[in-house]
Amino acid sequence: MSLVPWCDGRDGMYGFIWRILPGNTWIKALLSIVLVLAVVYVLFQYVFPWAEPLLPFNDVTVDNQ
């Protein structure tokens, strides 16, 4: 059982991830931070640069298209 009472037996994706992470609470917390940073990295490095041109926020030129 998890050592964190407020997370005991909760459902959902984040609860599931917390449960399958190995180690005690501190190791779980550390791994969580690493996972979060990895997700943020992938978003900033790959997903957002891909998505940005598809959104109409940054066209600055006048043209006839």
Partner 1 sequence: MAATTDHEEHTDAPASPPAPRRRGGGPVATAVSVLGELLITAGLVLGLFVAYSLWWTNVIADREADKQGDKVRDHWAEDRGPVGLDTKDGIGFLHVPAMKNGEVLVKKGTSTKLLNNGIAGYYTNPVKSALPQDKKGNFSLAAHRDGHGAKFHNIDKLKKGDAIVFETKDDWYVYKVYATLPETSKYNIKALAPVPKESGRTKAGRYITLTTCTPVYTSRYRYVVWGELDRVEKVDADRTPPAELR
Which chain residues interact with partner 1 by CB under 8 A? 1, 4, 6-15, 17-18, 29, 32-33, 35-36, 40, 43-44, 48, 51-53, 56-64
CB of 38 to partner 1, least distance (A): 12
CB of 13 to partner 1, least distance (A): 5
Under a CB-based contact definition with an 8 Å cutoff, are residues 27 and 21 in contact?
yes
CB of 17 to partner 1, least distance (A): 8
Under a CB-based contact definition with an 8 Å cutoff, are residues 28 and 21 in contact?
yes
| DSSP states along 18-41 | HHHS-SSHHHHHHHHHHHHHHHHH
